[in-house]
Chain A
Amino acid sequence: AQSVTQLGSHVSVSEGALVLLRCNYSSSVPPYLFWYVQYPNQGLQLLLKYTTGATLVKGINGFEAEFKKSETSFHLTKPSAHMSDAAEYFCAVRNPGAGSYQLTFGKGTKLSVIP
């Protein structure tokens, strides 16, 4: 079974400060990893994904994440927060060989940006 743990259900940062959202996963096989963002009353939008290859992946809106196998982590970062980044962020994992596209999600981290 797979699982995802997101540390911190709520994170607050000042505008212009570094954003760091933590994600740790548990998987018996090398997983595919995803970060999604959800704005109020909307669905989920893919920020970035790791499948194979380069462990540092860049996504939309200036976000990036690094896959660290030894730490089973996939933390999301952005050098400088904008007010528009305020949203809820979800880390998700999938077993590539499962024959299904089912994602297992973390509980989410709500990001607040203070002007």
Chain B
Amino acid sequence: KAGVTQTPRYLIKTRGQQVTLSCSPISGHRSVSWYQQTPGQGLQFLFEYFSETQRNKGNFPGRFSGRQFSNSRSEMNVSTLELGDSALYLCASSPGTSGINTGELFFGEGSRLTVL
């Protein structure tokens, strides 16, 4: 079974530009979450989608947005990039089925964004 796939793995942008990151969850998983990882702040929750609906959002400015498609694939977008947006962006998926579900997250390898 293929794991969580994130593209691109690495990218470099300049301040003011925008970026779109893509995530393909494990087949059958309906929940997709995004996290930002930086050396200073650690792992911070961005948002979570379940069946195309955002059901939770972290404390990030409106420049950060996301969406989920009917096939559960997800994208996140960051507009008007700032130097501080340089980070590893991790996507994670979870089955999200009914019944007992610990909500274990399966992570992709991340997209490393550098803003110059």
Pick the contact of A51 from B33, B102, B110 — CB < 8 Å? B102
User: By the criterion of a CB under 8 Å from any partner CB, how many residues of chain A are at the interface?
Assistant: 24
The interface residues of chain A lying within 8 Å CB-to-CB of B109 are 41-43
Quick check: which of A13-21, A67-75, A77-85, A99-107 contacts chain B, the rest being far away? A99-107
A-contact bits for B36-79, CB 8 A (1 contact / 0 none): 00000011010010000001101000000000000000000000
* A100-B104 contact given A43-B110, A105-B43, A107-B42, CB 8 Å threshold: no
Consensus secondary structure, chain B interface: strand
Pick the contact of B94 from A41, A42, A101, A107 — CB < 8 Å? A101
Q: Find out whether the CB atom of B104 lies under 8 angstroms from the CB atom of A49.
A: yes
At the interface, yes or no: B16 with Cβ under 8 Å from chain A? no
CB within 8 Å: A-B pair count: 54
B-contact bits for A83-115, CB 8 A (1 contact / 0 none): 000000010001010011111111110000000
B-contact bits for A58-72, CB 8 A (1 contact / 0 none): 000000000000000
A30-51 with Cβ < 8 A to chain B: 32, 34, 36, 41-46, 49, 51
Q: Find out whether the CB atom of B102 lies under 8 angstroms from the CB atom of A43.
A: no
Pick the contact of A101 from B42, B43, B96, B110 — CB < 8 Å? B96
Most buried by B among A36, A44, A107: A44
The chain A residue sitting closest to B41, CB to CB, is A107
Query: Residues of A at under 8 Å CB distance from B?
Result: 32, 34, 36, 41-46, 49, 51, 90, 94, 96, 99-108
Q: Which 9 A-B pairs have the closest CB atoms?
A: A101-B103, A43-B107, A100-B56, A105-B43, A44-B107, A43-B109, A107-B42, A51-B102, A101-B94
What are 27 A-B interface contacts by the 8 Å CB criterion? A42-B110, A43-B90, A43-B108, A43-B109, A44-B105, A44-B107, A46-B104, A46-B105, A46-B106, A90-B43, A96-B102, A99-B55, A100-B48, A100-B55, A100-B56, A101-B33, A101-B103, A101-B105, A102-B45, A102-B48, A102-B56, A102-B58, A103-B105, A105-B42, A105-B43, A106-B42, A107-B42
6 more A-B contacts (CB under 8 A) besides A43-B110, A49-B102?
A42-B110, A100-B55, A100-B56, A101-B94, A102-B56, A105-B42
